[in-house]
Amino acid sequence: MRAWRVVRYGSPQEALQLEDVPEPVPGPNEVLVRTAASVCNYNEVDACYGRYLTVNPPLPYTLGMEVTGVVVGAGELARHWMGRRVMGVSSNATGAHAELVVAAADMVFDVPDALDDVRAAAFCIPFHLAYLGLHERAHVQAGETVLVHAAAGGVGSAAVQLAVAAGARVIATAGGADKVEFARQLGADVAIDYRSGDFVDAVFEATDGRGVDLCFDGVGGDVMQQSLRCLTRGGRHLVVGFASGIEAEEVPMVTGRTFCFGNLSVMGVILSYQDPATVPRGYGYNPFPPEVGRRVNDSLVALLEAGTIHPVVGKTVAFEALPEALAEMAQRTTMGRIVVQVGGGQRA
């Protein structure tokens, strides 16, 4: 089968090579998916450069985190998935940019009937991550004010829609007039171009000096430091990702003084469904149990079928164009998700 392999570190065009490799074999609780579509993630840009420490296997390895397609093989504990059209995350968050992909059974979900493969590929991770952050971790409430950074991106656009669906007032930030307008179209009550000035001042102006109840932050770094100043008393800052630079993942960011004087909370979220009993104690990794994933997916499908939320596909590219698509993502000019069409798949 064909797979995009990271064979050296550098830009996506330098690091990636399309190779023929042996077909992967699923483990006992894994499935083998014939890929219809995969998706570009900014973490994969970092992986090409060798700076994404969370997913950093020895070279060479197959890149890719997300897959949509049909299950054509399964381990002994996952036989019930055979023949089903699924969307999900590849095992160990690698291997998805290939014609066949192994995924843990706890990390795949049936594709909703309303979605073709391209839109299904754009749906799974952003909406699961945004829902887990807003509802399972931050417990967003109707009437609260939520600040969403990078609102025109994949996860940010999902967060805007889900916060609006929860009855919150949304203040969105994005870079450039087109992205700001896009955030408004998604339902943001206020949209701020962070390139045009200090978003902190704009947030306080939009809230009559009160600040926000919750910040959904997929950017990190200096944006996190500024965002903490935007929180009202009892506010919550949700760490979702580090689009400003993956190095911020390893850098201590908040002092005790910030917590005390701000009367605020900082929390994080990871999209991972796994039996907690299989995670070593003291490892510092606390995934959600699989039953939470099923419940979250049911909630998201209900919102999708009601027309309340929708996946955002910025563009689709051919499998052979993956390196150029990742390079474009690195320039931060894209909106929504870049979906890679790998196989024939199902079209709407």
pLDDT score for 247: 72
Rounded CA-CA distance 272/348 in Å is: 29
SS3 180: helix
pLDDT tier for residue 347 given thresholds of 50, 70 and 90: very low
Q: Helix 42-49 and helix 322-330: axis angle, to 10°?
A: 100
pLDDT in tens, 38-50: 999 999 999 999 9
For the chain, give the percent of residues with pLDDT over 70. 98
pLDDT in tens, 90-144: 999 999 999 999 999 999 999 999 999 999 999 999 999 999 999 999 999 999 9
Q: In the chain, what are the domains?
A: 2-115+312-341 (3.90.180.10), 125-268 (3.40.50.720)
Q: Helix 154-165 and helix 117-131: axis angle, to 10°?
A: 60
pLDDT score for 249: 74
User: Is this model's pTM higher than 0.75 or not?
Assistant: yes
Residue 346 predicted with pLDDT over 70: no
